[in-house]
Structure 1
Amino acid sequence: MPITIPKQLPARHILEQENIFLMDTDRATTQDIRPLNIVIVNLMPEKERTETQLLRLLGNSPLQVTATFLHTATHESKTVSQSHLHQFYQTFANIKHKRFDGMIITGAPVEMLSFEEVDYWEELATIMEWAKTNVTSVLHICWAAQAALYYHYGIGKFELPAKCTGVLTHTVANSTVELVRGFDEEFLAPHSRYTGTSGDTIRADDRLLLLSSTKDDDPFIILSRDEKHVMVTGHLEYDHSTLADEYHRDRNKGLDPSIPTNYFPNNDPKEKPLNRWRSHAHLLFSNWLNYYVYQETPYQWE
């Protein structure tokens, strides 16, 4: 089944070229089917790029999905037009009376700040609290994963000696858990962050399951035992070129960024990187939608 998105959304053209099954709102209303309603809190600066990345993964599912995009009212985005936000986004005040089957909270380039220093932290905390009773399952990505660990479980983050950037190898701790069903015992995924969390601290918390880590025991996929929260510290949703764009952007700013680990062929930034994590990205999103959203959400919210 398709993902339902507005006809004018810029991501639509890209996804159609990739043969992602799409449907506009007018056609969706003619079908006698209950779609999954997913709200996406998009905190990334390049919102249009993130929209495409997430819709690509949500659209590769046998389930019909309707996506609602949310932006923060307490932070003014400087990298996306106000007309785009007005046309395709809502704020929490517009949707807080509704219930959603799933929620995705994206990463954000604010990890060097303490959580309370982020200008929209109070608003995000309100959304995370509201989601406890109004959302079946929440998927948190990168900084949002750290924010969820801090807000829900009191687990903090720490600054890394150097930026973690590159395509890292991960192992699966328990392949019987539905979220990682079908995963290889080792798989690749991109990371781009300056902070980390403690694997030992997560393992010591009986409310959490650490499902996947890097070979250096850096936590990657974390699941709450009540299955309400999925926390992914990296970026399986990234395109093949996202890390390259970040690297060249920083170089053009006059910075001296490290070359992303295990990413460019021959470790040469002039060569085109390959996407070697796509299948696991689709698998993670499909497993989340199926086992933690579709099979757990009521057909009709009371």
Structure 2
Amino acid sequence: MPIKIPDQLPATDVLRQENIFVMSESRALTQGIRPLKILILNLMPKKIETETQFLRLLSNSPLQLDIELLRIDDRPSKNTPEEHLNTFYRQFQTIEHRNFDGLIITGAPLGLVQFEDVLYWDHLKTIMNWAKDHVTSTLYVCWAAQAGLKLLYNLPKRTLKEKLSGVYHHQIQHQFHPILRGFDDTFLAPHSRYADFSPEFLAENTDLDILATSDVAGVYLAATKDKRNVFVTGHPEYDANTLHNEYVRDLGEGMEPNIPVNYYQNDNPDNPPSATWRSHGHLLFANWLNYCVYQQTPYDLEHFSESNFTKDD
């Protein structure tokens, strides 16, 4: 996969070690094709870890991608070196005049915080509203999915009594939807959230296509009819050890977390975890890039228009 990112980005060495095709800018220019412009708004505290996870999933496609990283504001980070942010991340003001083929908004550890109490809530709304006129398809992940539903449908924040943590079985609900092409009838995906995504609530209060659900975790995947907004309530990008690291962190903070479900062998945290969701995670991102972005986006991004988009696959 020709994914084009800066040579100095920490993810570059990681992905090359995994035999993922990371393309230099000079090599990309010789191909004579227009790469898809993908913007990642990274809201997670550990930005280097998160950007690597998403870049890994974006690599599973024959399309050439030009990736840019966006930060929500210029506040100092406790978990990411300022030099890294200044070198590889852009401020919104520097890109707001441009159009992009795709936008990914990551999750954030804000499950118990009301939207209005999030320090950057107003700025996030500005970016999400900007995307309506400047982005072909936006992928909202976990907490961002809840934020997107608030913006687009004015849905209230619904919170579970206990944190949902583990790897859950899901069933597809829309067999022939392009985002689900190649999916097994049932598949595994990790969740780590307090947000409540009830299938009944979303069906009653939105016009979304509900694409995949879990008897325990609720809606996992949903999309607008025109595929310009796609909501993923779990974390297909997670590495094998991410849920484990969160569990150990919560233990260290005295939170007495539940053991992540269906994650450790024999549900024993002394045993190593196993990643059982990789194949469907890669397939989900490949389908989003193909059917929601590549087949929908105008060749010339300067001529971005609502008329480019259809509600049929």
TM-score, normalisation: structure 2: 0.94
Contact 2:209 2:223 in 1 (8 A): yes
CA–CA separation in structure 2 for the residues paired with 1:60 and 1:217: 26
The residue aligned with 1:196 is 196
Contact 1:75 1:119 in 2 (8 A): no
Equivalent AA in structure 2 for residue 276 of structure 1: T
Q: Give CA-to-partner distance per residue, 1:211-245, whole Å, 9 cap, x none.
A: 11112361110101121100000001101110001
CA–CA separation in structure 2 for the residues paired with 1:173 and 1:217: 14
How many Å apart are 1:257 and its aligned residue?
A: 1.2
How many Å apart are 1:281 and its aligned residue?
A: 0.3
Equivalent AA in structure 1 for residue 224 of structure 2: S
Q: Give the unaligned 5+ runs of structure 2.
A: 304-313
CA–CA separation in structure 2 for the residues paired with 1:205 and 1:255: 34
SS in 2 for 1:38: strand
The residue aligned with 2:281 is 281
Alignment pair present for 1:187 and 2:164: no
CA–CA separation in structure 2 for the residues paired with 1:64 and 1:278: 21
The residue aligned with 1:82 is 82
The residue aligned with 1:97 is 97
Contact 1:74 1:119 in 2 (8 A): no
CA–CA separation in structure 2 for the residues paired with 1:28 and 1:232: 30
How many Å apart are 1:25 and its aligned residue?
A: 2.0
The residue aligned with 1:151 is 151
SS in 1 for 2:149: helix
The residue aligned with 2:255 is 255
**1:198-217 → structure 2 map (5 Å cutoff):** 198-205=198-205, 207-216=207-216
Q: Compare 83-92 and 17-26 and name the one that shifted more.
A: 17-26
The residue aligned with 2:311 is none
The residue aligned with 1:166 is 166
The residue aligned with 1:44 is 44
SS in 1 for 2:26: helix
SS in 2 for 1:80: coil
Equivalent AA in structure 1 for residue 259 of structure 2: I
SS in 1 for 2:231: strand
CA–CA separation in structure 1 for the residues paired with 2:42 and 2:218: 25
SS in 1 for 2:49: helix
Identity among equivalent pairs (%): 50
**1:25-44 → structure 2 map (5 Å cutoff):** 25-44=25-44
SS in 2 for 1:68: strand
Q: Compare 197-206 and 45-54 and name the one that shifted more.
A: 197-206
Equivalent AA in structure 1 for residue 201 of structure 2: T
Contact 1:3 1:23 in 2 (8 A): yes
Q: CA RMSD in A?
A: 1.2
Equivalent AA in structure 2 for residue 31 of structure 1: Q
Equivalent AA in structure 2 for residue 203 of structure 1: A
Equivalent AA in structure 1 for residue 231 of structure 2: M
Q: Give CA-to-partner distance per residue, 1:144-169, whole Å, 9 cap, x none.
A: 00000111111223221111000011
Contact 2:164 2:217 in 1 (8 A): no
CA–CA separation in structure 2 for the residues paired with 1:275 and 1:257: 20
How many Å apart are 1:75 and its aligned residue?
A: 4.2
Structure-2 change in CA distance of 1:205 and 1:280 (3 Å)? same
CA–CA separation in structure 2 for the residues paired with 1:76 and 1:131: 25
